Structure formats: structure tokens, C-alpha cells
Structure 1
């Protein structure tokens, strides 16, 4: 179905080619997972499948890419639209209509399908992805996860033979991610659709994959079964790390496989307790929010939420897509709508409501990085963004750049922010916000686009912020990050707090939010491979 024959891609910036002499074949009805570090060339590989590389991205392509017998050199993306459906990392940037139902129908309209066929496929897709209740909603009022499901649905309605997905679960809660992956798997098994899927959260996807293409970052592509490829690389989900720690061969790719082999590991851990949680915070909160209410037409996004945030703590805000997490963060920070309630942040001259301050001053009290970090970036180069952040906050020159280097080392200063990968753009936006040194930092889905290495660096930075006395709130669906980093978990549902407590207490009680290690070793209270490593090898 898809053939790469000695493919090399070079861009005009003169950097090393993201793909170098790549030869591979993806058969019809395969689910092919593409993995690699941020910036390794995954998006380039995906874009080459439907001709976006080089027709729209620039650069040069040497070799041949053929899809269903058509050479992408002679067939640009518009000629492949009936065969290849593509969903990018940023769903909102790909929408062309105003409402969910219109977006689902748009692609079929371009293919001139009969109205009766269009109506039937729209209904099937709404049910398949569980978004029927969103049919009349404006796309811009949806949460990031809801937008992602709509973007996938807009492609599925055209019934493509090849489906290319770039991080399709990055903004989805665990249950929604399972639903989407189940739908994609049904397309593969029942309809023979070929799926090429890039994803950083391998723990969600690897068990469904027939093949794994791993890009080490030097232009090559390692091709093989997921277990074989992961055995020889340092980019691995928690289950694979657990298998390495326990000495299991072959490595497990699903929780079921790991549980079947975990008996000896459970016996080794018998009588050993996980590390104790961090000490309780000071009694006086840094930020106090009372009876926060946020409304949108036809819905109440936040319904009278109270929240106390303490210095030196990392708080995870969790809940299904559309539960009100992002709306609560924007209301607390002051830039978003707040239709009721109060917010007070401790300041040198007494409590301050950031919502009453100009944006420049509000950033000194509460910093917020949104789901689409590019919204904060408006200058021509990375260096210009860093310099502007230093000037706006009165920080010494180079402060923002040093923060950026902790998250994304060696990022070219002359690169335009819109030419960065999602992970690199997030790192830049986060560095810009942290330059103001606010006591409270709010991060909305901060690990979208980050590989496991970058995520560890991000977690280390967040822990440094907390150790320095700042308060960090993460609105996230990344249960593995929460298990590793958070001191406290607050769960929202329909705009209300339904659970609030210590990380282990909340995560172990929830099948949906439990990390992989907890699922394998339940009912023992272990959350992460790092905890197990410390317990089994104290030295």
C-alpha cells in the first residue's frame, strides 16, 4: 500500500536530513506505529505519505514514495485526498467550517458524494467516536480533546484507504483515547484500512501496533515488531521499562501480558512499602479560589469550584475531556471568562486578584501556558521571543534562553516559532512564561508533543520550580506524568470537583487514571518504575 524507496528529505535550512536513504513497505491493513524523539523526523515521514513533503513543506525529496500505486511526486495531496486522510497535531488549525456537523461533512462535499451518503456517514462517525452530543457545537467552543476527536471524524467520513494520524491521543483523556484507538483498530481489522500513526505516549498505542518504525534522529528508520524494536532503544513506555527491570523476555506490551508474568515480582515486593508522600504544605495557601463559575452558551463549564493552592506543591487537575479543566485555569489566571467567584494570590502588598490586573502585571502573579502554546508566540524567531520575554519582565539578558535550554537543548535561535515541532513550541512558550517568575504556574496539557526524554526533563524542571517554593498546576490526561510528579490530584466532572487528595490515594482508586505499573501490581500501592527501582535496588 505504501512504499518508500531510498527516500531522503532535505530542507533549505542546511541541517541534517530528517530522512536519509529510507526504504520500507507498509502493507494494506497494517497499523504502523511511528516513534522517536521530538524533532527526529516523524512528522516529515507522515507528511511524505500524502505528498505534503515536498509539495507544501518545501525542501527536496530524493527517491520515491508511492501510495496505492501513485507516485507522490506526480500526485500532490489533492490527488490523494480520496485515498489518504491526514490528522495533524493541531486539530484547530485544520478546521475549515464552524460547527462539528459541518466539519464532518466538508470532506465529503469536496469529493461530491450524494447528500444521502453524507448524512449516513456523519451519523455513523458521530456514534463511532462518541461525539453525537457535540453535533451542533461551534468548533472553537470545544475542549482540545473534543476538537481532536472531531478532526479524526472529519477524515473518517471520507472512508480513506490510508489514515495518517499525528499524535491522535495527545489531548484525550484515558477513556476517550481508548475509544478512539478502538475505533481505529476496528478500521484496520474490519475494513482493511492502513493506519500510520505517530505517538509519543507509546503506553497507549503499542499493544495495538503490527509494526514499529523507530526514528533515532540520524535520518535512519528502524523497522520491526514493537517488542523487537523497543528491546534495543532507550525510548520505552513504563511496561517495557518494568519488563527490563524484572528481566522479562520478550518484553510485555499490554497490561494483561505483564500481569501474567508479575507473580515473582510481587513476591519480591512483599513487605516493601513505596516511598512516603512529600510532607503536607504550609497552612496558608498561595492562591485561594472560591465559588468559581464559568458559563458558555448552553453549558456551565465550571460550577462553583473552590481551590486552595500551596507553595512548593505540584497539583494535577484531571477529568474527562470537557470537564472544565481549561476553563478553570483561564478563570483563575484572569485572562478567561469568570462569571462568578473570587481569586486571591498572595502578594507583597496583600492578596491580589490577577483578573483585575493588566496582562503584563498578572503574569507576575500567575503564569499560564495554554493547550496551544503557539498562541503566546508572535515574533519572527526563537531568539526574539526570548529577548522580548527578558525585556518585559525586567530579567537579566539570557534568562529565558537558559530556561529554554533546559527543556529543548540546542534549539536554533533563528528558527521561526511556527516552524518548530509541537514539543519545541511548548518548551519556548513555557520558558517565556517562567521568565516572569510567577509564584503560581498553570500548565494546560504540558506534555503534548514531548517524548519520554523531554518529559523527564520537563518533570525535573517542574520539581525544581516546586522545590523553589512555586505552585504548579498541571491540567493533564497524562497519568504517567501525574504518577511521577504530582503531590495532589483534583478530579473534575461536569465542572465540579469530584475527588481531591494525595496522588496515590486518587490514582489507585480509579481504573481510568491508574498508571500502568499500578494496573500490573494491583492491589499493591506502586505507581511508577522509579519507585520499584529504588525499592529493589536501594544502592
Structure 2
């Protein structure tokens, strides 16, 4: 179905080829998973299948790519639209209509399908992806995960022979991700659809793959063969390597069957906590301690903490200002940094939050978890003053966010939204980092060093929008973490990050928490929560339904338990790191 013949792709001004000498064949009716570190060319390879590379992206493609006999060099994307369906990393770039139902129908209209066929396929897709209740909703009002499901659905309605998916589950909650992957597996097995998928959250997808392609080496093999040698692998494989299991398990079920001896070795041991903690919460440090730049963000940081929520008029005006930084006052160590009491937020006809209580102390790391559309992003937006409560109270460092001058608020709180590009305005990475240093009053090179720490290999002259999703997210994270405000808010901070980059981010956030900064993150990444956070707050239907220590909340949850917890249950082990430390003891 798909044939790569000695394919290389080189972009203008790049130091070398992004893809080099790829030679492989993907037969019809297989699901092939692309794995590898961020920035190794996974999105480029997928774009070469759909014709977006080089017709849309530019650059030079040498060699030959054919899809069902059509050469992508001589067939533009529009001439492959009936054959290849593509969903990129950014769902917003995919949409051309305003409502869910119209978006699902648009591709079929373009192909001239009969109205009766279109109606039937729309209904089937709404049911398959759990979108029936959203059919009349404006796309702009959906959460990031809901938008991702709509983008996938708009491709499925055209019934393409080949599906090209770039990070299709990155913004989905665990249950929604399982539903989408089950649909893809059904298409592969029952209809013979060929699926190429790039995904960093391998714990979700590797068991569904027929074969795995490891980049940049372009080695194609079975999941077991590739996971045995791949530098990126899910926790179940890491645990198998640690325990010396051969062959390595790829699923929780296989690992549980082999874990009896490991459980016996861990009897009487207790897992270490996810985070070292100071004896008492420390005040937010002043500018530029020996441990690194920790100055509070200046007023211009408001343009970098926007997100998708409507901003106040004052906040919008600050997006165009640059002011000298002013150090944030140290928080009261006996008072919570975040104090939310019976918060309710109504957005149009939707009651996004109701009766929410939340308190976060300095030095604490809290994860907000729950299904897509539960209200997690709305809660973060109220903490940064972008949304006013309908009722109840919200205080951050003693201030009421929506009623505080943004120039005062942003010295205390910074937000990295779901769309990292909302924070990036400069023409090159080095210019963006220089602006972040100037805004934070940090020594020149501070932000650039953070980018290199999170995702090595990003060049100074690259335009931020030419970066991969993971690299762009790392740049946005570096922009906010350069200022290191007392309260850091992160909305899906691991989308597009491989396991190594995620580990480096965890180390950086641990250091901030130990220094007394509070961190609140909304995430569907259960492995991140297991490694990093002190508390997990489960949000459902706009309400807090659980709030407690990470181990207590997630171990008993089939949806939010990490792989290690499922394998070693009922004992509260969460990460491979905890198991390794216990075995060493």
C-alpha cells in the first residue's frame, strides 16, 4: 500500500536531512507505529505519505514515495484526498467549519458524496467517537481533547484507505484514548485500512501496533523486537528490563502474569514519595539564586499566559506591552498560595464548574485529572484571571485574580496553555528566548539553556512554528519557567514530549517545587502524575469528585492508574524508579 524508496527530506537552511535513506514497505491493512525522540522526523515521514511534504512544507524530497501506486511527488495533497486521511498534531489547523456536525460532513461534501451517505456516516462517526452530545456545539467552545476527537472523526467519515495520524491521543483522557484506538483497530482488522501513527505515549498504543518503525534509524520490526532496543519505551517495558524478563511484556496483562517473583521481592518494602520536600514550604526565592533564575515574571508575561479563554480588557492590553520586571512578594508560608472556595463558572449554557474547593500550598504539586471537557482548563483560567467566577471566591497569593491588575497578578502566576504557540511571537528560537530573558530579568542565555535542557538539538535560527509539537511545547515551557513565578500553571505540559524530555521536565519541576513554588497542572498523562505530583484532584462534570495523595487516588482507579500500579497492585507502587530504588535497598 505504501512504499518508501531511499527517501530523504532536507529542509531549507537545515544542517542536514530530517529523514535519510528511508526504505520500507507498509502492506495494506496494518497499523504501523512510528517511535523515536522528539524532532527525529516522524511528522515529516507522515507528511511525505499525505503529500504535504514537500508540496506544502517546502524542502527537498529525494527518492520516491508511492501510496496505492500514486507517486506523492507528482500528486498534490488534493489529488490524494480520496485515498489518504490526515490528522496533524494541531487540531485547530484542521478545521474549516464552525460546528461539529458541519466539520464531520465537510470532507464528504468535497468528495461529492450523496446526502444520504453523508448523513449515515456522520451518525456512525458521532456514535463511534462519543460525539453525539456535541453535534451542535461550536468547535471553538470545545476542550482540546474534544477538538482532537472531532478532527479524527472528520477524517474517518471519508473512509480513506490510508490514515495518517500524528499524536492522535495526546489530548485525550485515558478512556477516550482507548475508544479512539479501538475504533482504529476495528478499521484495520475489519476494513483493511492502513494506519500510520506517530505517538509518544507508547503505554497507550504499542499493544495495538502490528509493526513499529524506529526513527531516525528507520528500522521496521514487530513491537517486541523494536521495544527491546528502542531508547523510548513505555513503563511496562522498562519494568521488564529491570526485572530481566525475556521476552519483554508489552501489555499490563502479560506483565502481571510474570510479576509474582517481583512482588515477593518487594514484600515489606514501601515506595518512596514522588517528590523530595522541604521541612516547611519555603517562600518564593528572589531573583537569580545560585540554583538558577527564579525571578517573578514582569507585566509583559501576560501576553505569554493567555490560553484559549477570553481575556479581560486589561489583560489584552498587556499583551502589547513590555515593562521592567518587579520582584514578586514572598508568599505567606502559613497561608495557601491558591484558595478556591465553592467556585462556580457558567460559560453560555454550560455550567463549566460548580462548588469547587481547592487549596494549594507553596512547594506543592497538584494534578487536575478527569475526562475531556470536565472543566480542568476552565479552573486554570480562573486562577490566572482570564475567567471571572459566576459565584464563589478565588484567591491567588491573597489576590482576587479577575479583579487584580494583570500587571500585579502576573508577577505571581504564569500559565502555559494547551496551545504553546499562543506564547510565541518572535521569528526565531533565539529571539524568543532573548525576549523571555528580558521579560524575566534573567541573565542572557537562561531561557535558551532551558530549551536545550528539555529538548537538545533545537537550532537558534529555527522559526518557532517550524518546530515539532514537542519542541514548540518545550520552548513555551522554557519561556514561562525562565521567570519561575511562585505559582506555575501547566495545561497538558507533555503533549509531544518523548520519555526523555518528560523526565527532564519532571526534574526541572521538582527543583521548582523544592524551592517553594507551587505547581498546578491539568493532564491526562497518568505516568507524569505518578512521577511528579503530591496530590491528584479528579474533576468530573465541573465538580471535584476526589482529592488526595497520588497513590491513594490513582492506584484504585482503572482509568488513572499508571502501568506499574496496575502490574503490582494492590501495593501502591507507581513508577519504575520507585521499584528500582526499593530493589537496590
Fold agreement, TM-score > 0.5: yes
Q: Secondary structure at the match of 2:483?
A: coil
* Map of 1:263 onto structure 2: 260
Q: Distance in 1 between matches of 2:386 and 2:378?
A: 10
Q: Secondary structure at the match of 1:450?
A: coil
1:449, distance to aligned residue in structure 2 (A): 0.4
* Map of 1:84 onto structure 2: 84
Q: Is the 8 A contact 1:281 1:310 kept in 2?
A: no
Q: Distance in 2 between matches of 1:119 and 1:237?
A: 40
1:24, distance to aligned residue in structure 2 (A): 0.2
Unaligned runs of 5+ in 2: 282-333
* Map of 1:480 onto structure 2: 527
Q: Distance in 2 between matches of 1:167 and 1:367?
A: 26
Q: Is the 8 A contact 1:381 1:417 kept in 2?
A: yes
Unaligned runs of 5+ in 1: none
Q: Does 1:324 align with 2:324?
A: no
Q: Is the 8 A contact 1:440 1:470 kept in 2?
A: yes
Coordinate RMSD, CA, aligned: 1.4
1:397, distance to aligned residue in structure 2 (A): 2.7
Q: Distance in 1 between matches of 2:200 and 2:380?
A: 25
Residues 69 and 429 (structure 1), Cα distance of their counterparts in 2 relative to 1, 3 Å cut = same
Q: Distance in 1 between matches of 2:144 and 2:118?
A: 25
Q: Is the 8 A contact 2:383 2:396 kept in 1?
A: no
* Map of 1:304 onto structure 2: 355
* Map of 1:390 onto structure 2: 437
* Map of 2:569 onto structure 1: 522
Of 437, 456, 470, 2:503 maps to: 456
Q: Distance in 2 between matches of 1:331 and 1:423?
A: 26
Alignment of 1:81-230 (within 5 A): 81-216=81-216, 220-230=217-227
1:365, distance to aligned residue in structure 2 (A): 0.8
Q: Does 1:407 align with 2:458?
A: no
Deviation string, structure 1 residues 119-154 (Cα, Å, up to 9, x no partner): 000000000111100000010110111000000000
* Map of 1:287 onto structure 2: 338
Stretch moving more, 410-419 or 145-154:
410-419
Moved over 6 A (4+): none
1:281, distance to aligned residue in structure 2 (A): 6.3
Residues 49 and 232 (structure 1), Cα distance of their counterparts in 2 relative to 1, 3 Å cut = same
Q: Distance in 1 between matches of 2:510 and 2:369?
A: 19
Q: Distance in 2 between matches of 1:13 and 1:130?
A: 44
1:382, distance to aligned residue in structure 2 (A): 1.4
Q: Distance in 1 between matches of 2:481 and 2:239?
A: 34
* Map of 2:300 onto structure 1: none
* Map of 1:49 onto structure 2: 49
1:263, distance to aligned residue in structure 2 (A): 1.4
Residues 206 and 410 (structure 1), Cα distance of their counterparts in 2 relative to 1, 3 Å cut = closer
Stretch moving more, 294-303 or 83-92:
294-303
Q: Distance in 1 between matches of 2:156 and 2:459?
A: 37
Q: Distance in 1 between matches of 2:67 and 2:337?
A: 56
* Map of 1:373 onto structure 2: 420
1:410, distance to aligned residue in structure 2 (A): 4.1
Q: Distance in 2 between matches of 1:123 and 1:225?
A: 36
1:484, distance to aligned residue in structure 2 (A): 0.7
1:344, distance to aligned residue in structure 2 (A): 2.1
Q: Distance in 2 between matches of 1:390 and 1:82?
A: 48
Q: Distance in 1 between matches of 2:531 and 2:443?
A: 32
Q: Secondary structure at the match of 1:435?
A: helix
1:18, distance to aligned residue in structure 2 (A): 1.5
Q: Is the 8 A contact 2:388 2:402 kept in 1?
A: no
Q: Is the 8 A contact 2:382 2:401 kept in 1?
A: no
Residues 427 and 133 (structure 1), Cα distance of their counterparts in 2 relative to 1, 3 Å cut = same
